Amino acid sequence: MRVLVTGAAGHIGRHTAAELLAAGHEVVLTDLLPADEPQALRVHTGDLQDPELVRAAMAGVDAVVHLGAIPHPNVPDPSALFAHNCHTAHRVLEEAGRAGVRRVVAASSMAAVGLAWSPVPLSPAYVPLDEAHPVLVRDPYGLSKLVLEETARAAHRRFGTDTVCLRFPFTGNGERLARFLAACAADPAAQRHDLWGWLHTLDAAAAIRHALERDLSGAHVVGVTAPDTTSTLPSAELMAAHHPGVPLRPGVTGHATLFDRTVCTDLLGFTPARTWR
């Protein structure tokens, strides 16, 4: 396939381009910053709010990977963050639909549930947490990801575009991952809202490729996580200490992730396996 990757200069974007090229796909890249990939067919540099840029980047592609967004709510203007992420998501999905692109894979976030960036202490209704968990969102970033998922569903209804929104937790490798793990070791409570979830960046890129290549139709939301937590403490012990009283459904043993991975395995035919242990 010829695949447009937005946000291609970012952490996940760079690995996704490499993953797709290694699998024999062609890539077109776009970002606010120049994307450094000599094997790319084209590189477009600019803002996804610009319709001309998006149309030019979209020309001749078979599928789109939408990663271009402000990745956290730590900005001076929360309303601007929300508007930017929603605007760019709609722009990309609208232009993809108009161009006849049949598949869009987009980076959503576990923040769409509402735990990760909550301004007040929250606990999940149950773990392992799945895609059907009730929405608890109070922050602008998580809300923008919910809007992304609804925009993808609307694009499927309007244009017939098949969409997969991948809910990622913290994603990293190398020094980025090492810092996150060290922070958890120093204070496990600091990651209680993340449910100690994480994903290796190479597994994020592989999940994106599977979502592109898999024979599926419709509009889907899929949680994608590593098999374990970021903590050296057992998962049940973490829950008892930091989310007391939350029901533990079957599967919470040892250091197992507190996110359900069934949909990822069944729908995408892929289960992230990389662990830091």
Q: What is the pLDDT of residues 26-84, one digit of tens each?
A: 999 999 998 889 999 999 999 999 999 999 999 999 999 999 999 999 999 999 999 99
pLDDT higher than threshold 90 for residue 86:
yes
Q: What is the pLDDT of residues 182-220, one digit of tens each?
A: 999 999 999 999 999 999 999 999 999 999 999 999 999
Average pLDDT, integer, range 96-112:
98
Distance separating alpha carbons of residues 78 and 84, to the nearest angstrom: 10
28 in Cβ contact with 61 (< 8 Å) = yes
pLDDT higher than threshold 90 for residue 114:
yes
Average pLDDT, integer, range 252-273:
98
**Residue 25 banded pLDDT, cuts 50, 70, 90:** very high
DSSP 80-119: HHHHHHHHHHHHHHHHHHHTT--EEEEEEEGGGTS-TT-S
Locus of tokens 């939350």:
246
pLDDT value of residue 260? 98
Please state the pTM of the whole predicted model. 0.97
pLDDT value of residue 251? 85
Q: Which domains does the chain have, with CATH numbers?
A: 2-172+198-226+258-268 (3.40.50.720)
pLDDT value of residue 96? 98
pLDDT value of residue 36? 86
What residues have CB less than 8 Å from 75, skipping those under 6 apart? 81
Q: What is the pLDDT of residues 128-178, one digit of tens each?
A: 999 999 999 999 999 999 999 999 999 999 999 999 999 999 999 999 999
End-to-end CA distance of the chain: 35
Average pLDDT, integer, range 237-262:
97
pLDDT value of residue 277? 94
**Residue 85 banded pLDDT, cuts 50, 70, 90:** very high
**Phi-psi label, residue 251: left if phi above 0, alpha if psi -120 to 50, beta otherwise:** left
Distance separating alpha carbons of residues 227 and 126, to the nearest angstrom: 18
Locus of tokens 């996940």:
12
Q: What are the φ/ψ torsions at residue 119 (nearest 5 degrees)?
A: -75, -5
pLDDT value of residue 270? 98
Per DSSP, the three-state class of 30 is strand
**Residue 247 banded pLDDT, cuts 50, 70, 90:** very high
Mean pLDDT of the chain: 97
pLDDT higher than threshold 90 for residue 257:
yes
